[in-house]
Amino acid sequence: MDNDIKTDEEAILKEAEGLLKDPAKRRLLGNVLTLGGLSLATGIALNHYGSVKEILKAVSRFNDGAQGVIFNPNNLAPTYTEADIKEPFPFNAFYSVDKAPVVDPGSFRLQLSGKISDRRPWDLPALYALPHTEQITRHICVEGWSAIGRWGGVMFSEFLKRVGADTTCKYVGFKCADGYFTSIDMPTALHSQTLLAFTFDGQLLPAKYGFPMKLRMPTKLGYKNPKHIVEIFVTNVYPGGYWEDMGYNWFGGS
């Protein structure tokens, strides 16, 4: 019997080693790539799981809950000077730069849905007329690199206030012109450094960085910062996300 258990444990760890060639999934597990660590992290005996994929999901749920508890909406991410800006700022997406979507600025309308009282669509001139603020902050990618850039736009909390979003809800979700989608927790949505960004380095946001707008959150990893946003919704129903549905942490704090 002991030999059988040992064989099963070795098989689980071998499966985990293969899955965690993905840097994001290595981050998902962090330092708990041992059976004892996995069991301790999830709080459930390993024999309750059919495979390491289920273990990864459990660890991800644990991490999401822990990050949500310790997240302080009053803490600010570091800011930097213009001398610190990375040039050129890296492009990163699940497609090549020449495949970035082309959005027509004249016909574009930002759609609103869910728990929002004023769901009228917004055109770009109306969005650009909102109070403008800028930040120089670090973008941290789950793949292990980071870069500092200057982003400008409206505080997302201000935008949510203007459209009558129900800020007692749990989630804010985003749909994007490139087929991407993600969602964030409401405390992060209301954080003072969370921007609905329309500019990069003082210029209109180029297509490769997310035109017509992106959500810029220095408190989140890069995959939580959606580009090419075409719809924003507020909900109490868990919305998931493009990478989150594949096993990445949902909270995604940096």
Read off the pTM. 0.77
Query: Per-residue pLDDT tens for 159-168?
Result: 999 999 999 9
* 40 φ, ψ (degrees, to nearest 5): -65, -40
Query: Per-residue pLDDT tens for 177-188?
Result: 999 999 999 999
**How many CB atoms sit inside 10 A of residue 114's CB?**
19
How would residue 56 be classed by pLDDT, with cut points 50, 70 and 90? low
How would residue 101 be classed by pLDDT, with cut points 50, 70 and 90? very high
pLDDT score at 49: 47
Residue 59 pLDDT > 80: no
- SS3 call for 122: strand
Q: Across residues 208-228, what is the average pLDDT? A: 97
On the question of a cis peptide bond just before residue 125, with omega within 30 degrees of 0, the verdict is no
Q: 17: which 2 tokens?
A: 């080693």
Q: Across residues 29-44, what is the average pLDDT? A: 44
Q: Across residues 41-54, what is the average pLDDT? A: 48
Q: 126: which 2 tokens?
A: 């109306």
Percent of the chain, pLDDT > 90?
67
pLDDT score at 112: 98
Residue 60 pLDDT > 90: no
Average pLDDT, the chain: 83
